Structures are given as C-alpha cells and as structure tokens.
Structure 1
Amino acid sequence: MQVDFYQLTQSTAEQVVVLLAANTLAAGQRLLVVHADPAARERLGQALWSAPAAKGAERFLANGEAGGAHDGRQPILLSDAVEPANGARFVALADGVWREAEGAERVFLVFGEATIDDARACWRMLGERAGLTRNYWKQEDGRWVKAA
C-alpha cells in the first residue's frame, strides 16, 4: 500500500480532494472519500460536482453519498467510514484522521494545522510497517512538491 500525506497550507481540503479525485479517475480507479462530518461531506460533494475535471474526463466529477441505492456504481463515494461499497482501491481520508484501509492500494491523508500532530504520529507509526510506502507532499508556489 502507498500512503500519501497532503498537508493543507494553501489549498482547502475540497480543492485537494478534487485534484486527487480527478487524478484517480484519470488513472482508471474509483475513489472513496472519508470524512466524519456530514456537512463537510456535503461541501466535498458540491466541490466535486462543480469542479472541472482534468485530463479529458467529464465536465464534473460524479459522486454520491454512501448508503444510496447505487453505491456500487459511484466513481467517487463519500462516506464516514472506510467501507468502499463502490469497490474503490483508492481512499482519501479528507478529515485528517487515520483509519485502517484494508485492501486499499493507495491512501491519501489530507490534513491541516488542527491535525498535524496526529499526522506526524501516523507517519511514524506507518514507518514501522513492512510493505508500505509513504510520501509527504507540501505546497510551494501553488504546486504540490514531494518533500519526503
């Protein structure tokens, strides 16, 4: 599994999730976006619907809230738990809280100032696991740069 840490310094969680979602779909994968707060999931869903998709995809990033009749068909599923009913192997933890993602190929931990200490502890904890790759991304001049 690969875990990518994205520290929010210039962009919002919504902006980063839109970028991750567009790149995930362009790679032919599905995405599960996890956030504990229902209002935040609503904002994430709206950002995905209204954002122009990248790399020749649709003009929006179709998504739905978990628990619906068509969860399995959603390219991007929003949930409060790591239960990929859409078959996603890519998971974005958009609230900065680490959750185990069994069977995931790639996990994106999006965190800000409020959860930076938890993200650092998670980095250390994951560093002790075999078969796991970690990357840390930060923004410089509006671009994401791999820092570790």
Structure 2
Amino acid sequence: MAEVLFYHLTGSPLEATLPGLLERTLERGWRAVVRCGVAERVPALDGLLWSYSEAGFLPHGTEGPHAERQPVYLTAGAEMPNGAEVLFLVDGAQAATEEISALTRTVLLFDGADGGAVARAREDWKRVAGAGLQATYWAQEDGRWLRKASSGAQG
C-alpha cells in the first residue's frame, strides 16, 4: 500500500531536512526521485547532496548519461528513469494520485512560512485522503519530528 508523508517544515529548512530523509530511504534499499517545483532548485540540491556532510555525500545524479543507475535522481520534470520506489516533492512539485498509488512512498515537504505552500499541502492532503491512500502528517516541535495526524488506509 502506497503511503504519503507530509513534512511541515517550520524549524528546519528543506536543505537541512532532505539529506537525512534521503539517507534513510537509501538505507532501506529504495531508490528515490526528488521532483522540484522549479528548475532552478535542481542544481542547488545537486550541490547540497555533494557537500552537506563532511563525512560523505549522497550518491545521486541529474539528467544525463546513466540516469537509470542513480540511487537518487533530481529533476524538475515528471521522469523517473531510475525505477524509484520513493518520490520526494519539493517547492510545490506535484504528482497525480495514480502515480502516487504506484509508488511505495511519496514524501511531500512544504515550507510552513509560505502560506501558499501550506494551502497546497492541505489540498494535497484532501486529495490523497480522498483517494483512500495512507497519509501521515509530520510537524517539527522542539527540534523533533512528531506524527500529528494520519488518514486513509492503514497498512
């Protein structure tokens, strides 16, 4: 059963949150696509994933040769050349309910300081829950992620 995780970013920016979520995704043996709502974000995230930690980097790639080999693929488009099980949606990127249903997990990260992003996330929650998908809402409190709500089918 596909699950959708909503991460309401209030205490940490995307750049501080995304690498850890991607690390946990790879630890589970899953491949991921990070879909950006704006093309300008792709090179910024590409640089971040190479340099966010002194201990290493996250293996990833963007459009180009060997895209299908990438454990994490960054894009502003709809392509998923690496056979990803997990889709990360950032900066207002969207995915159809049918696409979400075909994945193991979809992770929607949205900026809590952006009223438009919060409103879109609420609409996405209604759409996902209305489709009967398992959805979980996570919020930051005191530097930790807490599950605040769940909806839909429970696996």
TM-score normalised over the length of structure 2: 0.84
| Contact 2:35 2:93 (8 Å CA) reproduced | no
Structure 1 Cα separation of the partners of residues 124 and 42 of structure 2: 23
Residue 62 of structure 1 pairs with residue 86 of structure 2 = no
Q: Give 3-state SS (helix, strand or coil) of 1:38's partner.
A: coil
Residue 92 of structure 1 pairs with residue 88 of structure 2 = yes
Structure 2 Cα separation of the partners of residues 123 and 40 of structure 1: 24
Residue 122 of structure 1 pairs with residue 118 of structure 2 = no
Structure 1 Cα separation of the partners of residues 141 and 65 of structure 2: 41
Q: CA deviation at 1:81?
A: 2.2
Q: How does 1:1-148 map to 2 (within 5 A)?
A: 1-52=2-53, 59-66=56-63, 68-100=64-96, 101-102=99-100, 103-112=102-111, 113=114, 114-130=116-132, 132-148=133-149
Structure 1 Cα separation of the partners of residues 56 and 29 of structure 2: 16
Structure 1 Cα separation of the partners of residues 49 and 27 of structure 2: 14
| Contact 2:71 2:82 (8 Å CA) reproduced | yes
Across the aligned residues of Structure 1 and Structure 2, the Cα RMSD in angstroms comes to 1.7
| Contact 1:97 1:115 (8 Å CA) reproduced | no
TM-score normalised over the length of structure 1: 0.88
Structure 1 Cα separation of the partners of residues 78 and 18 of structure 2: 16
Letter aligned with residue 98 of structure 1: Q
| Contact 1:15 1:47 (8 Å CA) reproduced | no
Structure 2's unaligned 5+ residue stretches are: 150-155
Following TM superposition, the consecutive aligned residue runs of length 4 or more in structure 1 with deviations greater than 3 angstroms are none
Query: What is the percentage of aligned positions where both structures have the same residue?
Result: 35
Structure 2 Cα separation of the partners of residues 96 and 109 of structure 1: 9
Structure 2 Cα separation of the partners of residues 27 and 82 of structure 1: 24
- Paired residues in the alignment total 142
- CA deviation digits over 1:9-61, x for unaligned, max 9? 111112221111101001111110000322211111111111239xxxx8210
Letter aligned with residue 81 of structure 1: G
